[in-house]
Amino acid sequence: MRVLALHLRNVRNLAPLLLEPAPRFNVFSGDNGHGKTNLLESIYVIGALRSFRTQRLAELIAFGTTGASLEARVRRGELERRYQVDIRPRGRTARIDGKAVRTLARYFGGFNVVLFAPEDLAVPRGAPRDRRRFLDRAVFHHEPSFLEAARDYDKVLRSRNALLRDAEGRLGARPAELLAVYDEQLARLGAAVVTARLAYLEALRPRFVAAFESITRTGLEADLSYRSELPPGPDLEARLAARLAAQRGRDLARATTSAGPHLDDLEFRLDGQPAAAFASQGQLRALVLAWKTAEMDLLQEVHGDPPVLLLDDVSSELDPDRNAYLFEFLAKRPGQCFITTTHSRHVLLTAERVDFRVAAGHVSREEEK
């Protein structure tokens, strides 16, 4: 799988761009704030129909314009397709080969991307919300249908919380009856979200463990744990529905929903201990690097070809040993990669590499040295 051409118009601070990237390593260097991450964000949006930086795609629209257009010509095997996303202030339209796509299932699957960003390195010791987002992003790329369940869950959760905040005015004398409607939906969707998360972790775990050992060679055992008030197992939907019903009084008092996968957590572990509390900074970053290594390997195994990798200035955040491992790994695996960096020397690749310069929103190919 590779991007043959990228065409961007009215995207953040980027000048109109028509780019024909190299089949392997594309390195974009430049000072911060000049548009490097905007370029990667655009590719990610084309593949995922959402941004890794904002919840509102309208924020990608360049100031003073009425809409943005993002298009990629992608080859997978012998098939070439055009993926296009048009963004307007009130929504977006996705097209494949010029035809509007009305269901997400028809759009996803032909263009897979994986992002590795500097903020990912802080995930093991960060907020639970960031770990859930980190996990859900990986689950979505592995199983695109997960996005619909997760979005539906969030929508019902917001509606239930809005009802709880205005309980006196809207629930009147029937709080249990009205909340029960939301609880049924929340339990069904919540069970689907948790089941998908657990299935993904089960598939990722052995690859993650092996990758961490390859990175560190210390004999320390890495692991992943899913933390939830409701233990995994049968009848998850029924158990979540029962918990929501039991917590209604508390939820009314606090005006928020106190049970469900929106409160669950992903825990990185090292030698049986929580890594956030006991691991060094270098070990924590090795854990995230192992996750990304495993994520890419799993996607290649499932889809039959490697995903396009977006590497956003990660090399400057890694110590020399981890940085060397990262690029050794990338050099050995097939696939196309887009890499941003403040300085090209941070990217330890020599073969199959093309360098670009990003300055004030303009992207230009650098002459070979």
pLDDT score of 361: 93
Strand 79-88 versus strand 222-227 pairing type: unpaired
> Average pLDDT, stretch 84-90?
94
Answer whether residue 173 shows pLDDT above 60. Answer: no
d(CA 352, CA 218): 32
How far apart CA 52 and CA 41 sit, in angstroms, is: 7
pLDDT for 168: 59
Positive or negative CA dihedral for 198, 295, 116, 104?
A: negative
Q: Where is pLDDT greater, at 195 or 170?
A: 195
Report pLDDT digits (tens) over 295-348. 999 998 888 888 999 999 888 888 888 888 888 888 988 899 999 999 888 899
- Of the pLDDT bands very low, low, confident and very high (cuts 50, 70, 90), residue 169 is low
One-letter identity of residue 325? Y
Task: Delineate the domains of the chain, giving CATH numbers in brackets.
Answer: 1-112+307-369 (3.40.50.300), 124-304 (1.20.1050.90)
Question: pLDDT tens-digit profile of 20-60?
Answer: 999 999 999 999 889 999 999 999 999 989 899 998 999 99
* DSSP conformation class of 61: B
pLDDT > 90? residue 156: yes
**Which residue(s) pair with 363 in the sheet?**
358
Tell me if 187 sits within 8 A of 240, measured CB to CB: yes
pLDDT of residue 23: 95
The number of angstroms, rounded, from the C-alpha of 315 to the middle of its chain's C-alpha atoms is 19
Q: What is the pTM of this model?
A: 0.88
Average pLDDT of every residue of the chain: 91
Give the span between the Cα atoms of 43 and 128, in whole angstroms: 27
Neighbours of 18 (CB within 10 A): 11
Task: Give the pLDDT confidence score for residue 18 in this predicted structure.
Answer: 96
| 147-153, long-range: CB < 8 A, 24+ apart | 147/50, 147/104, 147/108, 148/104, 149/189, 149/192, 149/193, 149/196, 150/193, 152/189, 153/186, 153/189, 153/190, 153/192, 153/193, 153/260, 153/261, 153/262
Sheet holding 91-96, edge to edge: 17-19, 2-9, 68-76, 79-88, 91-96, 99-100
| pLDDT exceeds 70 at position 368 | no
